[in-house]
Amino acid sequence: MEFHVLPTRTAGAAENMALDFLLLQRYPRAGAVRFRHYEWRGPAFTFGFGQKIAWVRGQLPAEEPIDLCRRPTGGGLVDHRRDWTYALVISREHALWEARATQSYRLVHECLAQALRELGQPAAIKTQQDPALEAGPTTLAETGVCFQRAELYDVVHERTGEKMAGAAQKRNKHGLLFQGSLWKPAAGALDWDVFGGRFIAALAQAVGAPVTPTPWPDLNEDEVTGLIEQYSSPEWLEYR
């Protein structure tokens, strides 16, 4: 088992989502954990696979054009204009592929919180569900926007409880895709390259695999282009 760290890329929303999904579906090395941090070409939002497009559009800022895409994973609406975004793909050979979603979610976020604490930020894992949520569902506006409220095992500010990082997952026969976002304003002033290195080191230790800087994989260009077109299409965007 190796921990492959891929080069950082900057792309539009549909391309970033397509590449994350193809890393899950078509990565050429079995038995590897794959990690990438990526940037956004312009102001972008992504939203969960099961969310309704009409509601999502009602939450978007009106003051600027937004690059919008439905994710292959679940979760809520995520504002990527000031976040630190990453994807982690774990192959089915690893024990986390068979673990409960809450277990993989907590493990990754514990690594992220550890990296923040090493840089002096008071980060913690939320380990108790809000009593109101235990009593029943709340409004979609409260639950559908990623950084408005922390969920169980999200990364939060230790003193204020403000949400700092969240994520969504997709598990299939190939492996586990973990798409995560850290809200930079909540994390404070950091050297983001140093943070990335600390986060990667913590993840590699947690999954038991040595870090291996790896060139971008040789994916089928026709398949990449086709999936970007699919993720850019009205049919995908308006699926629900």
DSSP secondary structure string, the chain? -EEEEPPPEEE-HHHHHHHHHHHHHH-S-TTEEEEEEEEESSSEEEE-TTS-HHHHHHHS-SSS--EEEE-SS-S-BEE-TTEEEEEEEEETTSGGGTS-HHHHHHHHHHHHHHHHHHTT--EEE--S--HHHHH----HHHHSBGGGSPPTT-EEETTT--EEEEEEEEE-SSEEEEEEEEEHHHH-S--HHHHHHHHHHHHHHHHT--EEE-PPP---HHHHHHHHHHHHSHHHHT--
d(Cα 35, Cα 25) in Å, to the nearest integer? Answer: 14
Question: Sign (positive/negative) of CA torsion 92, 94, 100, 101?
Answer: negative
Higher pLDDT, 214 or 98: 214
pLDDT tens per residue, range 75-86 = 999 999 999 999
pLDDT at residue number 163: 95
Question: Sign (positive/negative) of CA torsion 137, 142, 147, 149?
Answer: negative
pLDDT at residue number 142: 43
pLDDT tens per residue, range 18-75 = 999 999 998 767 778 999 999 999 999 999 999 999 999 999 999 889 999 999 999 9
pLDDT at residue number 28: 62
Q: Six-digit token pair at 201?
A: 């080191």
Residue 34's DSSP bridge partners are 4, 89
pLDDT tens per residue, range 111-154 = 999 999 999 999 999 998 766 554 444 444 445 776 678 899 99
Q: One-letter amino acid identity for 13? A: A
pLDDT tens per residue, range 183-209 = 999 998 999 999 999 999 999 999 999
Looking at residues 219-223, what average pLDDT do you find? 94
d(Cα 79, Cα 47) in Å, to the nearest integer? Answer: 9
We find that the CATH architecture of domain 2-237 is: 2-Layer Sandwich (3.30)
Contact 228, 22 (CB under 8 A): no
pLDDT at residue number 143: 55
pLDDT at residue number 130: 67
How many other CB atoms sit within 10 Å of the CB of residue 67? 19
Question: Sign (positive/negative) of CA torsion 152, 153, 157, 159?
Answer: positive
Q: Six-digit token pair at 221?
A: 């260009």
